Amino acid sequence: MIINHPLLGPRDSQEFTYLGDASLIERPDWQAADAVDQFYDYLYLRDNPAGLHRELWYHEQGDRSWLVVTRNTLTHDITSVELARDVAKAKGRST
């Protein structure tokens, strides 16, 4: 499998490690009134789609960037790869 790194171009998947669902970026505010419920959802509830899935990959044996990869779980076809920090910045999460 080849992952098309947004900065470095196509790279072999053995350079990467997989973390999980991209929703892990959306860590809830621990000071919110319903923080307990939010963290329950954040930690335990996942969709398990047969089809497009957004997930976090780490370019461990490379430039050490986190990527948000959109992969079709039926075909392993990768349709989009973004830097996780760009995704977070676009949501106003990081400066």
Partner 1 sequence: MHSLAALTPLGGPLPKTEKIGTLTISEITNCALASVTLRRGKDQAFAVAAETLFATALPAPGVWQQAGVYGLIWMGPDQWFIEAPFASHEDIAQILKAGLGDSASVTEQTDGWVRFDVQGARVVDLLERLCPAPSRRMQTGAATRTLLEHMGCLVICRETAQHFSLLAPRSYAKSLAHALTAAARSIG
Q: Would you tell me which residues interact with partner 1 (CB under 8 A)?
A: 7-9, 11-12, 14-15, 60-65, 83, 85, 95
Report the C-alpha gap between 18 and 73 in whole angstroms.
14
80 to each of 44, 68, 76, how far by Cα in Å? 26, 8, 12
Minimum gap (Å) between residue 81 Cβ and partner 1: 14
Residue 12: strand pairing partners? 2
Of 48 and 95, the one with the shorter C-beta distance to partner 1 is 95
Whole-angstrom distance, CA of residue 63 vs CA of residue 12: 13
Q: Which is nearer to partner 1, 14 or 48 (CB)?
A: 14
Residue with smaller CB distance to partner 1, 61 or 73 = 61
Report in angstroms how near the CB of residue 9 gets to partner 1 at its nearest.
Answer: 8
